[in-house]
Amino acid sequence: MSIPFRVSTSRRTAASSTDARFVQPRSQSWLYRYAARARFVDLIVVLTAVLVALVVRFGYDLTHTFGRFSWSAIIAALLIAVSWFAMLRVTQSSDRRVLGGGPTEYSRVVTSSVMTFGVFAIVCQLLNLSIARGFLAVAFPLGTVMLLLSRWGMRRHLVGMRKSRKYLERVLIMGGVRSAKPMIDRLQQNPELGYEVVGLCVPIGKPSDPEIIESFGYEIPVFGDFSDARSAVALSGATTVAVTSAEVLGHSAMRELSWDLDDMDVEMLVSPGVTDVAGPRMMVRPVAGLPLLHIDKPSYQGANQFLKSAFDRIATSLLLLMLSPVLLVCAIAVKVTSPGPVFYKGERIGVGNEAFPMWKFRSMVVDADKQRELLATQNQGNGVLFKIQDDPRVTRVGKFLRRYSLDELPQLFNVMGGSMSLVGPRPPLREEVETYDHVVTRRMLVRPGITGLWQVSGRSDLSWEESVRLDLSYVENWSIMQDVLILWRTARAVVKSDGAY
């Protein structure tokens, strides 16, 4: 049961009366220490990868020489390690703004590795150096994988600590209640994002809006108005200030606030007023002294579309090769345990609102579609989708296949045929598409996927609105690295069978 949201104004007077001379600069937050720890782990991983490559290629005789300059193998290896670690710093892979969330951190790690060995290969070619290819063939992939796994391990630990309300940045929000509400809701309901809202500063003369406040579901104290920012930071212990009403605060006040917070070692964030738009699509461009936020168009056409198709087919070919025994076992299990065909072919609507047949292992009795109207009163879906947790039409083997999403494996053939993608929005039924408004229709701009953000964020347990938001977020912010992360998270979600029925 949610706790009614109440705004505490009892601290307003205290905040207003606090003398600025008592505000002491804040020490560096835990995030600085986490970034330093990430850099240290990077160094250990790079040295380990290079040492393993040396031993694998040359054994324990590290006096072997590299190239026409007769460099010692260990000296050349150390040079590569130092260059690799330096490239990790140049690409800002341990920047506090990308650590702990999103695909950018992993993308920068991969970029730094590719650039290191790319530059090294060019130098070797120009100087006519003869470098042992076996050494590079071991060091590069091993080090890259180890770096990614170490960052992933650190992130998993960090997310676990955040869920227990530790390692959170304390956020003071400056803005009207209406503009602050979406940010407060999102941050409070998702502590794994790394932020905890500790207070609110409202515009002068607008302390609250009762109708909006009652819908929050938790209590956030109000520390005066915008003029009390320095005092509010001191009283709340905030490490970050997020501005959601920049137009009310004004350009001059924003500049002065950034100066004050810089002296206090407090981060400043400014909400641009747009949601579910990823960082790579946003760029600040100064025009006549004004910082303007430029938002690029979604990148799902042209070369990016070709890149995604190539990635889908290469990855799917490998998956079909590895999973062929599983496919065979599933097909035999379906055939021998219930009468009817092995596969179920259902109509779905794909990119451009074109219909296509989607393949699945049959997990229900024959003619299950005709029984749907009889079960309409038992629908446990989210309002648009038809779902029953203990659906009587599901066979015994079908229940097992659904639990681990094995029934969806034949959709790999859809991916090879080009009607689906490995990652994308959920493939909808025709009757669903007919109910879409102009906003939801944007899901149809890309091919539907076997998995997607909806799959790794709750699957059947999500509300319709949240499913749509996740699909639209994917469409607007697609990237190869995001696809890789979703596939990785899908494997974990399938093993846990979260929200599958």
Mean pLDDT of the chain: 77
Q: Lay out the sheet containing 220-225: strands in order across.
A: 7-8, 220-225, 195-202, 169-174, 240-243, 267-270
Radius of gyration of the CA atoms of the chain, in A: 27
Q: What is the structure's pLDDT at 411?
A: 94
Q: What is the pLDDT of residue 459?
A: 56
H/E stretch holding 4 reads: none
Express each pLDDT in 321-358 by its tens digit: 999 999 999 999 999 988 889 998 888 999 888 899 99
pLDDT of residue 387: 63
Q: Which 3 state secondary structure label does DSSP give 252? A: helix
Pairing outcome for strands 282-287 and 290-295: antiparallel
pLDDT value of residue 27: 43
pLDDT at 359: 93
103 backbone dihedrals φ, ψ, rounded to 5°: -80, -10
Q: How far apart are CA 422 and CA 316, in angstroms?
A: 8
Beta bridge mates, 241 = 172, 268
Q: pLDDT tens track of the chain, all 501 residues?
A: 333 334 444 333 333 333 433 344 344 467 788 889 999 999 999 999 998 888 887 765 555 555 544 556 777 788 889 999 999 999 988 888 788 877 788 989 999 999 998 888 787 777 766 666 777 888 889 999 999 999 999 998 888 888 887 888 888 888 877 777 778 877 877 777 888 888 888 876 555 444 334 434 567 788 877 777 788 888 888 888 888 877 666 677 777 777 777 777 788 888 776 666 655 566 666 666 666 666 666 666 666 778 888 999 999 999 999 999 999 999 999 999 888 899 988 889 998 888 999 999 998 888 776 666 666 656 555 555 656 666 778 888 888 888 888 889 999 999 999 999 999 888 888 888 888 877 788 788 888 999 888 777 765 566 777 777 788 888 777 778 788 888 888 887 776 655 554
What string of H, E and C letters represents the secondary structure of 268-290? Answer: EEECCCCCCCCHHHEEEEEECCE
DSSP structure class, residue 462: S
Sign for the CA dihedral angle at 201, 202, 205, 208 comes to negative
Any alpha helices (H) in 91-176, and if so which ranges?
Answer: 104-126, 133-163
Q: What is the pLDDT of residues 153-173, one digit of tens each?
A: 999 888 888 888 788 888 888
The alpha carbon of residue 264 and the mean position of all alpha carbons in its chain are separated, in whole angstroms, by 31
Cβ atoms of 284 and 293 closer than 8 Å? yes
pLDDT at position 285, please?
Answer: 66
**Token pair belonging to 451:** 């998995």
Is the separation of the CB atoms in 476 and 303 below 8 Å?
no
pLDDT in tens, 267-306: 888 877 666 665 556 666 666 666 666 666 666 666 677 8
Q: How far apart are CA 426 and CA 306, in angstroms?
A: 21
Local structure of 329: helix, strand or coil: helix
Question: What is the structure's pLDDT at 328?
Answer: 94
pTM of the shown model: 0.62
DSSP-derived letter for residue 394 is B
Helix (H, G, I), strand (E, B) or coil at 53: helix
Residue-wise pLDDT for 458-480, tens only, equals 655 667 777 777 888 887 777 78
**Dist CA 140 CA 112 (whole Å):** 11
Cα 453 to Cα 476: distance, rounded to the nearest angstrom? 12
Q: Which residues contact 435 (CB under 8 A, 6 or more apart)?
A: 384
Question: What is the C-alpha to C-alpha distance for residues 474 and 241, in angstroms, rounded to an integer?
Answer: 28
Separation of alpha carbons 84 and 109, rounded Å: 10
Query: Domains in the chain, start-ordered, CATH in brackets?
Result: 7-26+164-295 (3.40.50.1980), 30-162 (no CATH), 303-496 (no CATH)
